[in-house]
């Protein structure tokens, strides 16, 4: 893909620097403005992180490790982490501590009362709204699970094997046509949408960008490996039932079976992944490194928080009343 259009002075400075092969121009940043809800800052972060994924056709590859860009990104990342820690403090304060981390994680997910996009898509969304949802989700799904792969080299033993097992599934189990990102591209094409990587980045809401960026903020930093795995586990643990609802919604509005197929695949796959992610990856990691417990919980809470922002934005945009939570209990 090529560099996107900027959405403010910060993303403009980053994009101009990447395009021109020049150091980023200093931009006066108001540290009082939260980065989580600032689309200029989130787009700047997304672009900087993308240098570690597919990159841009119009940017030289070695800019990935440009110290000035890394410094700028580090500042945005630190602010985003601090804001996420602040936002998740109440949920973490109320989190159970039973001595069984897996049960605590499932309880934290079940206690979440974020708005349910899946319930709305299931019963009420118009065809246009379903298409809009599919486009928004493509920002993540066309590089599905890639941020979590950065963590593999930071793990060992049974925890590494468990994450590799999940990733092997996400990456198609040896069959490129079964890569989840490929299944998603198939889903988009069948629905008449553009399956080009990054095609819907210009339409991505700030919440969508933030949810994507959080995976990289955690996944690219060894210190945050516990949070990265908590985030991944919460994602898996809030996927199976909602995917069933989304598939039903896709069928209800008359979109093709190939579009629903991606979500049907996740009903089965994520029912398994959530168990492996919570028990073998997260609980396994904390059994080896007990001081990572707080960060694993933080990652779970951050995922739920970001998911609520993404869902809330779309429901508000559609004038829809918030639905019941997507949690495991609302089957």
Q: Contact residues for Fe ion (CB under 5 A)?
A: 170, 180, 236, 270, 273
Toward Fe ion, which CB reaches closer, 59 or 188?
188
CB of residue 55 to Fe ion, shortest distance in Å: 23
Of the pair 81, 236, the CB lying nearest Fe ion is at 236
CB of 101 to Fe ion, least distance (A): 20
CB of 77 or CB of 270, closer to Fe ion: 270
Minimum Å gap between C-beta 146 and Fe ion is 11
Within 8 A by CB and 6+ apart from 181, the residues are: 141, 142, 143, 144, 146
- Cα separation, 240 vs 263, whole angstroms: 9
Name every residue whose Cβ is closer than 8 Å to that of residue 319 and which is 6 or more positions away in sequence.
Answer: none
Q: Distance between CA atoms of 211 and 305, rounded to whole angstroms? A: 9
**What's the 3-state SS for 49-84?**
HHCCCCCCCCCCHHHHHCHHHHHHHHHHHHHHHHHH
Q: CA neighbours within 13 Å on the CB side: how many for 95?
A: 28
Q: Quote the least distance from Cβ 215 to Fe ion, whole Å.
A: 13
Shortest Cβ distance from residue 261 to Fe ion (Å)? Answer: 12
Query: Which residues 6+ apart lie within 8 Å of 293 measured at CB?
Result: 101, 226, 286
Would you say 132 or 270 has its CB closer to Fe ion?
270
The nearer residue to Fe ion, 91 or 187, going by C-beta atoms, is 187
User: Toward Fe ion, which CB reaches closer, 39 or 170?
Assistant: 170
Least distance from Fe ion to the Cβ atom of residue 145, Å: 6
Q: How far apart (Å, rounded) are the C-alpha atoms in residues 138 and 259?
A: 12
């Amino acid at each position: 893909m090529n560099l996107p259009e900027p959405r403010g002075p910060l993303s403009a400075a980053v994009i101009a620097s990447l395009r021109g092969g020049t150091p980023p121009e200093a931009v006066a940043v108001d540290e009082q403005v939260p980065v989580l809800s600032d689309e200029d800052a989130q787009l700047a972060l997304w672009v900087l992180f993308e240098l570690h994924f597919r990159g841009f056709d119009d940017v030289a590859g070695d800019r990935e490790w440009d110290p000035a860009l890394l410094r700028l990104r580090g500042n945005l990342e630190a602010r985003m982490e601090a804001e996420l820690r602040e936002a998740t403090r109440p949920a973490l304060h109320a989190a159970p501590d039973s001595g069984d981390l897996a049960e605590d994680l499932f309880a934290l997910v079940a206690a979440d009362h974020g708005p349910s996009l899946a319930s709305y898509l299931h019963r009420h969304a118009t065809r246009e709204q379903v298409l809009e949802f599919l486009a928004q989700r493509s920002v993540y799904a066309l590089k599905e699970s890639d941020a979590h792969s950065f963590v593999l080299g930071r793990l060992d033993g049974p925890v590494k094997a468990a994450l590799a097992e999940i990733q092997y599934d996400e990456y198609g189990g040896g069959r490129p046509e079964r890569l989840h990102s490929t299944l998603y591209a198939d889903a988009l094409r069948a629905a008449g949408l553009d399956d080009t990587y990054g095609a819907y980045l210009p339409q991505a809401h700030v919440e969508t960008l933030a949810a994507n960026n959080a995976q990289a903020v955690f996944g690219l930093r060894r210190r945050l490996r516990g949070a990265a795995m908590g985030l991944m586990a919460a994602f898996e643990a809030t996927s199976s039932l909602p995917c069933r609802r989304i598939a039903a919604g896709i069928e209800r509005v008359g979109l093709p079976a190939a579009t629903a197929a991606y979500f049907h695949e996740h009903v089965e796959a994520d029912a398994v992944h959530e168990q492996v992610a919570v028990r073998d990856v997260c609980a396994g990691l904390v059994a080896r490194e007990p001081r990572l417990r707080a960060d694993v919980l933080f990652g779970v809470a951050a995922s739920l928080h970001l998911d609520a922002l993404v869902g809330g934005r779309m429901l508000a945009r559609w004038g829809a009343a918030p639905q019941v939570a997507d949690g495991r209990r609302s089957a």
